[in-house]
Amino acid sequence: MSSKPETTLAPGKPLHKNEHLKLESNFLRGNILRDLADQSTGGITEDSGQLTKFHGIYAQDDRDLRNQRRKENKEKAFSFMARVRVPGGVCTTAQWLALDTLADQYANGTLKLTTRQAFQFHGILKGDLWRTINGVNKALLDTIAACGDVNRNVMCNPNPEQSELHSEVFKVSRAISEHLLPRSSAYHELWVGEDLVGGGEPDAEPIYGKTYLPRKFKIVVAVPPSNDVDIFAHDLGYIAINDASGKLAGFNVTVGGGLGMSHNQIETYPRIADVMGFCTVQQAVDVAEKVMTVQRDFGDRTDRKHARLKYTIADRGLAWFRGEVEARLGYRLGTPRAFKFTHTGDRYGWVESHDGRSHFTIFIQSGRVKDTGNYKLRTALREIAYAHKGDLRLTANQNLVIANIEPGERPRIEALLKKHRLETANDASGLKLNAMSCVALPTCGLALAESERYLPELVEMLEAEFEAAGLRHDEVVLRVTGCPNGCGRPFLAEIGFVGKSPGKYNVYLGAAFNGSRLNTLFRANVPETEIVPLLGPIIRRYAVERTPGERFGDFTIRAGYVKPTYTPQDFHEAKAVKAEAP
Ligand code: SRM
Ligand code: SF4
């Protein structure tokens, strides 16, 4: 790369190297094709690895095998993760079955439902990558912009029982998603087998421009009282507001949420989104474009750890940001309307719509759809997908809704749920049903500790404590991640575990049950063996001392275990104010 231009927004600081890469990639093509054809390695170059993210694909290696392969002088056991975009989380049974088949043909035989209502395949070998992505497209889904410095999968509350409202809100999330999709034809050219669009005319990105965004961008739509999408964790959010007749009147607009941070780096921090204003349903897409383009133009392109919208807003202020957005919109946003969130978790089991259709939400631990021992979840969901005539909905908590079951169809679905004991999964403790983990080892290259593989043991240990205290059915939000990037949204959990090093976690307490307040560091570097001794006494005290209806997170603040987090300083350094567990 010849020149080193400086960003006008941060004079004196050179642009991050990814900015040059994007600029010179010919709209996200780079050398991907060359690298895919290179049979001398199972991997791709680092530059191509950055660019394939925009196509929904991550280069990974099996970290369980790293040491052994190093000793044997072999290259890493490379494979690829592909993320399938599912705007609003709604997919057809035919799409489910197609992905289920691809998982066996080319991936590791599992489907992973993510915290952002998407599917992931893990373990795809380079030689199978094209067939996998092509197969996804044949199922009328895609992996475009599932990762990379662009707008990601737009999330939306699945809300099937309020069908009219859901369909309106869902339409808005799809419209935002479509509007903000990159226009580059590189994706189709590389993965769908089309020739250069228009005979090789240069691409254009009318919204993004050649360097796309400084960093990833995430949008969600929430329908109160459910905050299942964790609206305050995202760059841009819409809170559905009804008019007096229960019809959708518009949205409160939230901006500047984000969770990723680095341990002990105070300049990085999770941030709760601000409520910026109100927009009508018709304005929602325009607002998304303008919010995103302000971030496109003012986000920090020199430092990727400071490049999310949350830092732009924290540095320049909400009033400045709103002014910039409104100037581009050409109108003022309205005053935010009243709203109330009660919870972030999913409501399990059966619910009925007014029109007689029913919906069944199934708990899926860590969103991993696989057959294990005598719990054949993947087989069960395949049989259900064959039988079911409605749709399937991925939740923001890694669970699944079998939605729109006609009255006549219900006995058949009930029989399948019974046959495969899926209903018993929903009988789990309040802690287990509200627990999430990120993927972490062995596929995630950034993991510092176990997460998905550790969750069952962690939950079992802690649910024994809750059970002994008589709290088996109390809902408490527990989340674990293998590093502080925050993929399982651990900083919004009443009990959050964040991997520090193998077998050691930072423990965070005090988030609000409805997702409106971050938690705070309670104890750093806790070895697995010390988790129960650390939290057991707090759980027992909670059982005895809580006030009526008091949530665990609120109690840990009232009882003085942690102070609520207001500033990045609080968040990182609250260990200095921790009360000793009595
Ligand atoms: Fe994430 C990076 C998995 C939701 C913040 N995330 C990763 C990567 C791709 C690792 C990498 O860059 O090499 C992980 C792949 C692991 C694997 O093997 O599959 C990964 N993130 C996930 C998923 C699959 C976790 C899950 O178990 O469900 C979620 C996929 C969502 C999706 O469908 O798009 C996932 N990631 C999140 C969330 C939660 C959310 O958005 O609701 C966050 C926190 C919110 C936020 O963005 O602030 C999140 N992921 C990150 C970050 C930190 C970003 C930051 O601003 O600092 C990284 C690292 C990065 O981008 O550099 C990251
Ligand atoms: Fe990987 Fe960290 Fe995200 Fe977990 S939180 S999936 S360990 S990047």
**What is the per-residue pLDDT across 253-277, written as a single tens digit (0 to 9) for each?**
999 999 999 998 999 999 999 999 9
Are both 491 and 363 inside the same structural domain?
no
Asked if residue 274 is part of any domain, the answer here is no
pLDDT at 367 over 50: yes
Span from the CA of 487 to the centroid of ligand 1 (angstroms): 4
The domain boundary, picked from 375, 407, 425, lies at 425
Are both 407 and 443 inside the same structural domain?
no
Residue 398's CATH number: 3.90.480.10
pLDDT tens profile 497-541: 999 999 999 999 999 999 999 999 999 999 999 999 999 999 999
Percent of the chain exceeding pLDDT 70 equals 95
pLDDT tens profile 409-439: 999 999 999 999 998 888 999 999 999 999 9
Are both 458 and 564 inside the same structural domain?
yes
Are both 463 and 415 inside the same structural domain?
no
Which of 487, 489, 500, 517 is catalytic? The answer is 487
Which of 483, 500, 517, 523 is catalytic? The answer is 483
- Ligand having the closest approach to the CA of 447: 2
Q: Can 215 be counted among the known catalytic residues? A: no
Within 13 Å and on the Cβ side, how many CA atoms surround 258? 25
DSSP secondary-structure letter at 219? Answer: E
Residue 488's CATH number: 3.30.413.10
Query: For residues 401 and 350, what is the distance between their CA atoms, to the nearest angstrom?
Result: 10
- Ligand having the closest approach to the CA of 52: 1
- Residues lining ligand 2, judged by CB closer than 6 Å? 438-440, 444, 446-447, 451, 481-483, 485-487
Are both 487 and 542 inside the same structural domain?
yes
3: how many CB neighbours lie within 10 A of its CB? 8
The domain boundary, picked from 399, 425, 451, lies at 425
Q: Can 438 be counted among the known catalytic residues? A: yes
pLDDT at 375 over 80: yes
Q: What global pTM score does this model have?
A: 0.96
Domain hosting residue 440, numbered range: 432-569
Residue 209 has a pLDDT of: 96
pLDDT tens profile 102-131: 999 999 999 999 999 999 999 999 999 999
Residue 51 has a pLDDT of: 98
- Mean pLDDT of the 298-303 span: 98
Residue 193 has a pLDDT of: 79
The domain boundary, picked from 357, 390, 425, lies at 425
pLDDT at 348 over 60: yes
**Burial, 140: exposed, middle or buried (Cβ in 10 Å; 0-12, 13-18, 19+)?**
exposed
Residue 157 backbone class (left: φ over 0; alpha: ψ -120 to 50; beta: rest): beta
- Which numbered atom of ligand 2 lies nearest the CA of 498? 5
Asked if residue 224 is part of any domain, the answer here is no
Q: Can 91 be counted among the known catalytic residues? A: no
- Residues lining ligand 1, judged by CB closer than 6 Å? 58, 60, 81, 83, 114-116, 118, 120, 152-153, 216, 218, 230, 233, 258-260, 308, 367, 398, 438-439, 443-446, 485-489
Q: How many domains does the chain have?
A: 2
At residue 437, the 3 state secondary structure works out as strand
pLDDT tens profile 471-502: 999 999 999 999 999 999 999 999 999 999 99
Instruction: Report which protein residue has its CA nearest ligand 1's atom 39.
Output: 487
pLDDT at 306 over 50: yes
- Mean pLDDT of the 301-325 span: 98
Are both 390 and 473 inside the same structural domain?
no
